[in-house]
Amino acid sequence: MNQKFDLAGRLPLIAIIRGVTPDEVLNVASILIEEGFSLIEVPLNSPDALTSIKKLVDTYGQDNLIGAGTVTTVEQAEQVITTGANLVVTPNCNTEVIKMAVAAGCATFPGIVTPTEAFAALAAGATGIKLFPVSMLGLDGYKALNSVLPKGTLCYPVGGIEPTIESMRDYVKIGAAGFGLGSALYKPGLSDEQIRKNAKDYVSSYHACLDENAK
């Protein structure tokens, strides 16, 4: 496998910038990167998403993990890989998509809810798993799932995670490796100042949870 990514030392928060346009994507990404983010996904149901991803790859792809979310078919995965992306995130567990992304050297996080999906994703080579929507699992469901997953499995809760310690704390305690962050981080129409504030709040809250967990 030609691995094109390195997760070591990165802030494990995936910025999901759904709805971003090619005209604004570089500005939004620059704010996020300045605040410490280095994993950025443009969901494919955003306007002209492949153009946005290509612009991000060309500008920030050297030092960051850039790619697509909401990748549901092999055809979509192929289009994303063609941009030079090194991050593929899906809302479901399609093992053919996972295998294609992994073979292309992309960090790959498929969406799962059940143990069956989780083990299928890992068997296909997934980098980690996206617990989506995490509201379906809840804390008890994630705790039960985590008890049977291979040690060291990277789990990223996604869906409804707010930029607060209270929203992240219990997942970090159980063992969450990071989070995927959507509309509470970015949504169309937010000012640069609000995007920056949201990013700062997420980063500070996550680090505070790590500090608490280390005590």
Active site residue ranges: 41, 130
Determine the average pLDDT of the residues in 1-26.
91
Q: How confident is the model at residue 19 (pLDDT cuts 50, 70, 90)?
A: very high
In this predicted model, what pLDDT tens digit does every residue of 129-158 receive, in sequence order?
A: 999 999 999 999 999 999 999 999 999 999
Residue 133: is the preceding peptide bond cis (ω within 30°)?
Answer: yes
pLDDT at 1: 46
The answer as to whether 4 is a domain residue is no
The answer as to whether 2 is a domain residue is no
Q: Please report, for residues 120, 194, 209, 213, the alpha-carbon distance to residue 65 in angstroms, rounded to integers and kept in the order given.
A: 24, 23, 24, 27
The torsion defined by the Cα of 13, 18, 21 and 22, in degrees rounded to 10, comes to 40
The answer as to whether 5 is a domain residue is no
**Could you tell me what percent of the chain has a pLDDT over 70?**
99
In this predicted model, what pLDDT tens digit does every residue of 158-168 receive, in sequence order?
A: 999 999 999 99
Q: How confident is the model at residue 2 (pLDDT cuts 50, 70, 90)?
A: low
Place of tokens 């209270």: 166
Q: Whole-number mean pLDDT of the chain? A: 96
pLDDT for residue 4 is more than 90: no
Number of folded domains in the chain?
1
Token pair listed for 104: 């292309």
In this predicted model, what pLDDT tens digit does every residue of 102-125 receive, in sequence order?
A: 999 999 999 999 999 999 999 999
The answer as to whether 111 is a domain residue is yes
The residue segments making up the domain with residue 83 are 13-214
Q: What CATH number did the domain enclosing 54 receive?
A: 3.20.20.70
H or E element in which residue 170 lies: helix 165-174
